[in-house]
Structure formats: C-alpha cells, structure tokens
Amino acid sequence: DGPCPKICQFSDTVHAGNIEDFRNCTVLEGSLTILDSTFNGFQQIWNNFTFGPRYPAMDPDRLEVFTTLKEVTGYINIQAHNPRFTNLKAFRNLEVIGGRHLTEYFSALYIVKTSLESLNLKSLYKIRSGSVAILENNDLCYAENISWQKIMKSQSHNTLLQNNKAPEICHKEKHVCDPQCSVEGCWGPGNELCLSCKNFMAETECVESCDPVKGLYKSEEDRTCMKCDRECKVTCTGSGPGKCVKCKHVKDGPFCVTECPNTKYNNTFGECQDCHRNCVGGCKGPANNIGVMGCNSCDKAIINKELEVVQCPHESECCPEGYFYEWVGPEG
C-alpha cells in the first residue's frame, strides 16, 4: 500500500541542491526548513568566509517530491513567500510530526510570514510533541478553525495563531470550510479537506447522504458510504459486481462484467449466453454454424457446395449420410 519504506536523514534548509535527496522518502529523521532562499536561490558561504556552491532558484512545484513523506521526527519550519507557493499539498500524505526537536516558540509546526492561502495537510492526524505557531500569514485562511487539540498529543504545548488573514475577510471571500465539514474544521476548500465529516464519508469526500443516484450505498460501518462497483450503471444494493441494479456493460449470471467470457456471447438484452457446445474459440450467437450468429470456429464442419459452414457437429460425430470426411486447413 503505497511506496516502500525509506528513511532519510536531514536537518537543514531545503533548496535546489538537495531537493532530489527526498525522493521516495517515507520517514524523515530530522527536521525540514523552507525559507525564501529555498525558492530564490542563494550563495553558500562557509564559516571561514569562503564561498561554497551557488544554488539556483527553485520552482515550488519541485516540492512534490514530498508526496511520499508520512512522518517527520523533528519539526517543520516554513518561512517562505512565493506567488506559486499557496498551499502545502506536497505534504498531503504527511501523517505525523514527531517534535523530537523544536524550533521557535517550542514549535513542531512553525509557519510564519508565508504566501500560503491554505494548509492542505489533509492526512496530518498527530503532532506528538511541541506547539503549533502560525503567525503573520496575510493570505492564510482556514487555520484558525482547525481543532488543533485533536491533533496535538502534548498537554504542555499550545497553539499560537495570530495576525493571519482576518476571519471576516476569509468569510467574505468564501474561503471557508465546505458545508459538509464538521465543527472540527478543514485544511482548505472543498469536501475532501475536512478533518471529519458532518454527515457521511464516501472514500475521501464528505457527503450529505449515501445518494444512490451518485453511485453510493451505506456500508455497515457507521456514517460511511461506499461506491458501487465500477461495472454498475450507477446504482447498487451492496458491494461487488453482483449487487448492481443495472450493468454498465453486460451481465454474466448474477455479475456485471466488462465483456462476456470466451465461451459466451452478448444477447440483445445485454446478458451473456452460452455458445453452442460445438463452438471453438467463442461465438457471436447461439447458432451451430460459423457466421454472424454462430461460432467463430469449429473442430469439425459440414460444408455445402458454396463452401459455407452450415453446421458444426461435435468432433466425435461421424459425417452424415451423403458427406465424406476431408481435412481442410485455413485459407491462404
């Protein structure tokens, strides 16, 4: 389920020179820092005042290497402003921030003076230790309404959210949680970024009901909708291709399938019917001959004067009276 585990070690600033080191990482032993220099590039200067490498500017899209990341054992420190850096969707699969090491304000998550408009940390469910400080992000909505205490496991640390985008402006611009989100808040716009659902959850979406018209049915689990099998034509009564009300393609016995198996044909009612027992390699209809309504091939065939196959006898049957047996190979 997902990428193979890969532990990476890092505690520095992300930039164009090291971004590829994070590819396929699932656990980061250390901490992450994203600054203006991450996107703008910078000249490395060592402690002895000599010049190191010059790192070029980096497009925020390159942060997508973090999509496999599920845990950071230290902290995440973000202080970067870039017109294309508007959310943290690159960290959409991040589940845990450990907080073994903390940054300013004893923070495990520190987001200050960024260009972020939403957080989009939709998989984050645990901050083991440390506080959350989200300050002076002039474009950031949604963060104020998140139930951080549900995520933070340390009783000795608090949240500090100040001077972000005013809630009344966020509301006026409709940068608010989807109506299907619960009072626990959301990570950003839409019904897939809720911390929890007000009514029902269908895969990753929060929905009002398990509407059959939308191809949903209510599972045995509380407040959960399941999607009908992909072979169903929208509606179903339960799980699997045998619970469809109608089939999208054809029906083989009780099951909806993409196409009939080789030993059957699709009749005019969208149902799979058995080919004649003498057919070889499938058929297009019930007839015991080779043609548009018969077999694709035969082991033995009765051929008329026009060299048309009028019947496919079983291979164990003898030729009827008035016929003689001759082996005929494929044309050409």
Cβ atoms 27, 73 nearer than 8 A: yes
Which residue, 79, 39, 43, is CA-closest to 59?
Answer: 39
Please tell me the predicted confidence (pLDDT) of residue 329: 63
With a cut of 70, list the residues of the chain below it in pLDDT: 1, 328-332
Based on the number of CB atoms within 10 Å of its own CB, is 168 exposed (0-12), middle (13-18) or buried (19 or more)?
exposed
Please tell me the predicted confidence (pLDDT) of residue 109: 98
Please tell me the predicted confidence (pLDDT) of residue 1: 66
Q: ∠ CA(28), CA(32), CA(35), 5° rounding?
A: 160
Please tell me the predicted confidence (pLDDT) of residue 234: 86
Residue 35 CA to residue 109 CA, distance in Å, equals: 14
Please tell me the predicted confidence (pLDDT) of residue 303: 85
